[in-house]
Amino acid sequence: MTRAGPAAAGMVAVAVVATIIATIIAASPTAEAHPAPSSSVALTFATRSVKAQLLLPVSELTYAMTDVASQDPGSAHIDERALRRYVVAHVSAESHDGAPWSVAVRAVKAETLDDHDYWAVDMMLTPPPDCDVSDLVLVDDAITREIRNHFIFATARASEAAGTAADVVGILQYPASRLSISGTASHAHAARSGFGSRQARISIVLASLASLAILALLAAGGVRSSTAWSRWICLMGESKAPPFRSPRERAAIRPESPRSCRKRLAGGIDAGRSIPG
């Protein structure tokens, strides 16, 4: 290999990776291919409240709000006022002892994601004065109350700080409508302690160093990845979960085969959760 070899190999690798990523993005599923799109709710913890951002597919919501007797799936007309009423009736929060939180709809807007129309609803969930923000039970049966095959994906993150990761904390399908967030209280703890922003800086530095190491290894060994590489990639994939995974849980993570890992990373196999109901 000539002196220019390592740099050239690195640039080629970056170009190839960029092309592959662009191809993957271009090949993303279209909403048209999903006759029954899911909903999502993204929880973001703050010191004294939790922001809930809902995405409700218009097609499913319209069908959900249609009078069963009319037998006409498209007959419901949803305006913003009706949507607000519906959301307040179907989304609430309480503490584990049953104390109700105050719930307010802050904003409603239409969004198009992946060629499918959604209602985006911003809500604020606030516990009673004597309750901790981490003591949260989300109660959400929007659309699932009416449509039995509908799913709600719930995620949570510790704060709004840039770089704070969101974890899938549960998937709701009828008749399940309650999601206890106590198991992920570290979200709230992290929000109070400001853990996220500092971790972000450390992580970016670590990631940069790791990337440089990868480029160096590429230069030394070419771009063809090996079993060891794939295993390392898998372990990095697991790191998406912390800080919400306990040391004991992390110790229980077994090394994964390269083939299984590639499928998991490509297919999102590990995103599923047991669904009550």
Partner 1 sequence: MTREATVLLISFVLGLSLLDCRHGPSSAVPPKPPLPTASSAGDTTKTTACVDAAGGGSNVGTVVAAATAFRDALPDGLRATLQHPLTRATAIVWSNLPVKLVPRTGVRLGDLDAAQSAAVRRLFAAATTTCGLAMLDEVRLSDDVLATVDKRGLKWGAGNFYVAFLGAPSERAPWILQIGGHHLAYNFTFNGERAGATPLFFGTEPTRFTTADGATHEPLREQSAAMIALAQAIAARPAARLSGKFTDVVKGVVINFPPGQPPTGGLDTAFPLNYPTGTSDRGIRVDALSSDEQALVRRAIESYASLPAQSIAGDLLKAYEAPAAFGQTYVGCAGGADLSKVGTYVRIDGPRGWMEFVVQDGIAFPDKPHYHALWRDKESDYGGEAKQ
Q: Is 107 in the site for partner 1 (CB under 8 A)?
A: no
Site size toward partner 1 (CB under 8 A) is 95
Segment 37-66, which members bind partner 1 (CB under 8 A)? 37-42, 53, 55, 60, 63-64
* Cβ neighbours for 71, distance < 8 A, ≥ 6 positions apart: none
Q: From CA 263, how far away is CA 23, in angstroms rounded?
A: 17
Cβ 157 vs Cβ 165: under 8 Å: yes
Segment 195-234, which members bind partner 1 (CB under 8 A)? 196, 199-200, 203-204, 206-207, 210-211, 214, 218, 223-226, 229-230, 232-233
Task: Identify which of residues 49 and 155 has a Cβ nearer to partner 1 in the complex.
Answer: 155
Q: Is 150 in the site for partner 1 (CB under 8 A)?
A: yes
**Closest approach of Cβ 200 to partner 1, in Å?**
4
What is the gyration radius of the CA atoms in the chain, in angstroms?
Answer: 22
Task: Identify which of residues 98 and 272 has a Cβ nearer to partner 1 in the complex.
Answer: 272
Segment 108-147, which members bind partner 1 (CB under 8 A)? 113-114, 145-147
Task: Identify which of residues 36 and 89 has a Cβ nearer to partner 1 in the complex.
Answer: 36
Neighbours of 267 (CB within 10 A): 9
Q: Judged by CB under 8 A, which of 166, 178, 185, 219 binds partner 1? A: 166
Q: From CA 247, how far away is CA 204, in angstroms rounded?
A: 22
**Closest approach of Cβ 81 to partner 1, in Å?**
23
Q: What sign does the dihedral 210-211-212-216 (CA atoms) show?
A: positive
Q: Given the rule CB under 8 A, which of 83-91, 122-130, 131-139, 263-271 is the region that contacts partner 1?
A: 263-271
Q: Is 32 in the site for partner 1 (CB under 8 A)?
A: yes
Task: Identify which of residues 63 and 95 has a Cβ nearer to partner 1 in the complex.
Answer: 63
Q: Judged by CB under 8 A, which of 69, 71, 77, 98 binds partner 1? A: 71
Q: From CA 100, how far away is CA 105, in angstroms rounded?
A: 16
Cβ 103 vs Cβ 92: under 8 Å: yes
CA angle centred on 115, ends 168 and 268, rounded to 5°: 30
* Token digits of residue 207: 């990631």
* Token digits of residue 269: 């196999």
